[in-house]
């Protein structure tokens, strides 16, 4: 049975480390938002996507893609805002109160496996209350004090292939069941399915990461075109 899924995109325009990060030119004069919008439209209908921003000027861009627009209180774009407050405000703006919700960040332009995770979600056991896109950590990790996290110091330390499995939350996409949302209003539930992507990802938090993501994105775009 096909599940009812809507998409929520938090899109703030007051980024401090990379000014106007989500809407500045990223690839061929298109922004991170433009890139993500086109990726999502390969899987979803425009009316299934809601974009939440504190900036009313974003509405025209959002409606260009046929998406729904939600004007968010600017206080919910600050670091002081609690995550469950942000999630609840945006999810509650979706008209359908019974649907599951895919939460998508535009700051991971290299992630484009939405068809795959939707198919997985539709066929997952009901025991899973959410799906999180993650990436396997396959290297040796130290904490801020130089203490080993996933290995022990010494000539006997495990090689990377034998390290315990750890995963990084990529913040590229989550799928949240309606029952879990009604209880927690958070992106990850008590029993998430971990979708381990093999794609190289760059979470854009500063200008250097923005530029690295541009280079990688252009490389894979050219590679894709050459295969057609």
Q: Does the residue 57 lie in any domain?
A: yes
Q: Does the residue 158 lie in any domain?
A: no
Q: Does the residue 38 lie in any domain?
A: yes
**How far apart, in whole angstroms, are the C-alpha atoms of residue 76 and residue 150?**
35
Give the residue with greater pLDDT, 40 vs 221: 40
Q: What is the pLDDT of residues 159-216, one digit of tens each?
A: 888 788 889 999 999 999 999 999 999 999 999 999 999 888 998 999 999 999 999 9
Q: Is the pLDDT of residue 87 over 80?
A: yes
Query: What is the domain range of residue 83?
Result: 5-134+168-227
DSSP 156-169: TPPPGGGSPPEEEE
Q: Is the pLDDT of residue 218 over 90?
A: yes
Residues 117 and 39: beta-carbon distance below 8 Å: no
**How far apart, in whole angstroms, are the C-alpha atoms of residue 117 and residue 5?**
11
Q: Does the residue 197 lie in any domain?
A: yes
Please give the pLDDT value at position 224.
61
CATH code where residue 53 lies: 3.90.550.10
Q: Does the residue 161 lie in any domain?
A: no
Collapsed DSSP state (helix, strand, coil) of residue 96: coil
The residue written with tokens 């913040």 in the block is: 171
Q: Does the residue 156 lie in any domain?
A: no
Number of domains, the chain: 1
Q: Does the residue 147 lie in any domain?
A: no
Q: What does pTM read for this prediction?
A: 0.91
């Amino acid at each position: 049975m096909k599940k009812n899924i809507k998409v929520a995109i938090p899109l703030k325009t007051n980024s401090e480390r990379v000014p106007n990060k989500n809407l500045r030119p990223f690839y061929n004069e298109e922004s991170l938002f433009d890139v993500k919008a086109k990726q999502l439209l390969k899987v979803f209908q425009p009316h299934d996507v809601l974009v939440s921003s504190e900036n009313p000027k974003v509405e025209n861009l959002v409606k260009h893609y046929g998406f729904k627009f939600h004007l968010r209180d600017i206080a919910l774009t600050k670091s002081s805002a609690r995550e469950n407050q942000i999630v609840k405000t945006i999810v509650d703006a979706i008209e359908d109160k019974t649907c599951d919700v895919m939460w998508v960040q535009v700051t991971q332009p290299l992630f484009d496996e939405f068809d795959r995770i939707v198919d997985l979600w539709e066929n997952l056991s009901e025991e899973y209350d959410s799906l999180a896109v993650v990436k396997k950590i396959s290297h040796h990790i130290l904490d801020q004090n130089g203490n080993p996290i996933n290995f022990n110091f010494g000539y006997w330390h495990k090689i990377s292939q034998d390290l315990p499995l750890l995963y990084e939350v990529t913040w590229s996409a989550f799928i949240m069941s309606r029952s879990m949302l009604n209880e927690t209003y958070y992106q990850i539930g008590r029993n998430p399915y971990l979708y381990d992507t093999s794609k190289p990802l760059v979470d854009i938090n500063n200008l250097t990461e923005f530029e690295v993501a541009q280079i990688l994105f252009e490389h894979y775009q050219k590679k894709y075109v050459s295969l057609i």
